[in-house]
């Protein structure tokens, strides 16, 4: 007799006036003990919705987070950047801290941390939008105003095969103050966002919005990176 999963998938309902058509919340999952039946539902939900959310996971262990991510691609044993984050020459070095007992999981954030998962008295420094915009937001407006960080791929990842999926767990987030996010595309549009927000973008939607010529360019273009010194 087949065992049925009891977890449920709920596509996110976009706010009024918003045409977002991706993302779903998964309820009833025990991420510390994921059964084959539960993972089949989770896997399908991710590929159908592109982004999936598990709420109330503050006590999830780094091991369980890694094992869940690895279920999507068991052949990959390492974090996508491998040992590149350990190199002081890497631009990623100041931004990430490795959990000692689960090195595939990195800690990101901003500010001092007394103790977390074996890390003691660390100071996290998160990249700021000022470092990637020509015209910085004036200091007087910086607390109430923000911008998206720039689009990037982190690195060329020579000889590395990043996992098929990645996971992000919010351990502690800023309280309920909001900021005005300014789009840096000349439109003057803004978006009200909670502090510490993470934005997700649908590549499917981006592709659909391209002109036929740009779609052809995207499909046929290849990039060759310069050798790393």
Q: Is residue 43 situated within a structural domain?
A: no
Q: Is residue 129 situated within a structural domain?
A: yes
Cα–chain center distance at 156: 18
| CB environment 148-171: b (16+ within 10 A), e (fewer) | beeeeeebeeeeeebbebebeeee
Q: Is residue 157 situated within a structural domain?
A: yes
Q: Is residue 155 situated within a structural domain?
A: yes
- pLDDT 10s digits, 88-102: 555 555 667 889 999
Count of domains observed in the chain: 1
Q: Which of the residue ranges 44-58, 104-118, 143-157 would you say has the lowest mean pLDDT?
A: 143-157
Q: Is residue 199 situated within a structural domain?
A: yes
CA-to-CA distance for 102 and 147, rounded, in angstroms? Answer: 32
Q: Which domain holds residue 203?
A: 56-220
CA-to-CA distance for 208 and 229, rounded, in angstroms? Answer: 38
The pLDDT assigned to 217 comes to 97
CA-to-CA distance for 73 and 53, rounded, in angstroms? Answer: 19
Pairwise pLDDT comparison (156 vs 225), residue with the higher score: 225
Q: Is residue 225 situated within a structural domain?
A: no
- pLDDT 10s digits, 134-181: 888 888 998 899 998 877 776 666 777 778 899 999 998 877 789 999
pTM of the model: 0.84
Q: Is residue 10 situated within a structural domain?
A: no
Q: Is residue 4 situated within a structural domain?
A: no
């Amino acid at each position: 007799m087949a065992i049925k999963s009891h977890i449920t998938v709920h596509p996110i309902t976009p706010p009024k006036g918003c045409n977002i058509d991706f993302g779903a919340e998964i309820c009833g999952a025990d991420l510390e003990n994921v059964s084959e039946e539960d993972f089949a539902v989770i896997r399908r939900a991710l590929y159908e919705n592109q982004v999936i959310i598990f709420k109330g996971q503050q006590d999830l262990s780094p091991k369980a987070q890694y094992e869940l991510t690895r279920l999507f691609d068991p052949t990959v044993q390492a974090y996508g950047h491998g040992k590149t984050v350990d190199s002081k020459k890497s631009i990623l070095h100041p931004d990430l801290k490795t959990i000692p007992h689960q090195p595939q999981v990195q800690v990101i954030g901003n500010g001092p941390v007394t103790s977390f998962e074996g890390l003691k008295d660390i100071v996290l420094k998160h990249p700021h939008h000022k470092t990637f915009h020509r015209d910085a937001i004036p200091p007087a407006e910086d607390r109430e105003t923000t911008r998206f960080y720039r689009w990037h791929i982190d690195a060329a990842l020579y000889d590395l095969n990043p996992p098929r999926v990645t996971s992000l767990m919010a351990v502690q987030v800023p309280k309920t103050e909001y900021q005005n996010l300014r789009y840096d595309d000349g439109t003057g549009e803004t978006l009200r966002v909670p502090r510490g927000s993470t934005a997700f973008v649908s590549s499917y939607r981006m592709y659909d919005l391209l002109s036929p010529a740009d779609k052809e360019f995207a499909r046929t273009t290849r990039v060759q990176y310069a050798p790393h010194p």
